[in-house]
Amino acid sequence: MTVLVTGGAGFIGSNFVLDWLAQSDELVVNVDKLTYAGNLGNLASLKGDARHIVVQGDIGDQAAVERLLAEHRPRAVINFAAESHVDRSIHGAGDFIQTNVVGTFHLLQAVLGYWRDTLQRDQEFRFLHVSTDEVYGSLGADDPAFSETTQYAPNSPYSASKAASDHLVRAWHHTYGLPVLTTNCSNNYGPLQFPEKLIPLMISNALEGKALPVYGDGRNVRDWLYVTDHCSAIRTVLERGRVGEVYNVGGNSEKQNIEVVKTLCAILDELVPAGRPHEKLVTYVTDRPGHDRRYAIDATKIERELGWTPSVAFADGIRKTVRWYLDNAEWVREVKSGEYRKWLDLNYQGRG
């Protein structure tokens, strides 16, 4: 049996592939465009493993995806591929529209053709679309958490592009019958996250003695989930989720940004004392335009229907994360320096 994963060299995708192959002997075909956020080094431990096939490719290249589907005949496609960073989407939305909207459209077309024309009618197949809680917009301090029926209200170019992709996935199910599943998850953290997102950026800056840029008043709230818990939720939905349904995934772990940053500083003070508290590096900076105030996920549906709950408490996950970044300083240096990009250009030029 085979599954096809898109975006499997990014943060969550590579954690998912590593986790999957630690528990299953199914073949994973990993299609990734290898943008700045995709890093084959994340999958170095799978080098030479015949269960993992990496293909540099774009989900928007419908013909290429069609060829891969025909060749490998996966029982499922799990779509992680996306442009994922809100700040980048504010500075330039083009790539977000191209990959998250147009790319998802082409991927759906390729998958629909494969499911309809190639697979036997009695063969089970799933298309699982990995999405975000940001599609629901922003909550006030006392609002109830996002449920699967909360109205979409995306506020950033990133979340608007993800909302559009969710709508396409829904439509391909209702119109064409494609057996889809969608997950909308809260903020992930853990190993292998590119140091542009809050937690790895703060760790990396703190270790270099640089300012820790906290947007606005630092009181925006996010619901944090350790990445392997997201991976287990996706596996659960893939195996037991009801076709056409949406499942919200969250960590029951709402924190203000400043609280997260102070926690990181306290762990760093303990593990790598720097002479003065790392918290002294906190610098309040101009807020992100359109900055959503609060996200919170009501994950009762996935718990009630599928029995999934998060297993890593924030206090443990954040400590493990800091340790990982301390132990993998070379990884951070490489992904930030662009050396890896040069290697990629030399080694992957023109490969389909």
Closest by Cα among 127, 128, 145 to 136:
145
For residue 329, count other CB atoms closer than 10 A to its CB.
11
Name the minimum Å distance from CB 57 to ligand DAU: 21
β-bridge pairing 180-185 and 246-249: parallel
| Active site annotation includes 142 | no
Name the minimum Å distance from CB 158 to ligand NAD: 8
162 binds ligand NAD (CB under 6 A): yes
262 binds ligand NAD (CB under 6 A): no
CA gap 305, 300 in Å, rounded: 8
- Active-site pick, 114, 158, 189, 340: 158
Give residues 76-105 in contact with ligand DAU (rule: CB under 6 A).
84-86
Interface pick for ligand NAD out of 30, 62, 156, 187 (rule CB under 6 A) = 187
16 binds ligand NAD (CB under 6 A): no
Handedness of CA 259, 262, 264, 266 (dihedral sign): negative
- Active-site pick, 133, 229, 254, 292: 133
| Active site annotation includes 247 | no
What x/- string results for residues 113 through 132 when contact with ligand DAU is judged by CB under 6 A? -------------------x
257 binds ligand DAU (CB under 6 A): yes
CA gap 49, 51 in Å, rounded: 5
- DSSP-assigned letter for residue 42: G
Give residues 179-238 in contact with ligand DAU (rule: CB under 6 A).
186-187, 197-198, 201, 213-215, 220, 222
Q: How many helices (H) and strands (E) does the chain have?
A: 13, 12
CA gap 39, 33 in Å, rounded: 10
Burial of 325 (0-12, 13-18, 19+ CB in 10 A): buried
CA gap 163, 182 in Å, rounded: 11
The interface partner of residue 214, options being ligand DAU, ligand NAD, none and the CB cut-off 5 to 8 Å by kind, is ligand DAU
In the bound state with ligand DAU, the residue whose beta carbon lies nearer, of 152 and 215, is: 215
Name the minimum Å distance from CB 212 to ligand NAD: 19
Angle between helix axes 11-23 and 227-240 (nearest 10 degrees) is 60
Return the active site residues: 133-134, 158
Q: Which residues contact ligand NAD (rule: CB under 6 A)?
A: 6-7, 9-13, 31-35, 37-38, 58-60, 80-84, 99, 103, 130-132, 162, 185, 187-188, 194
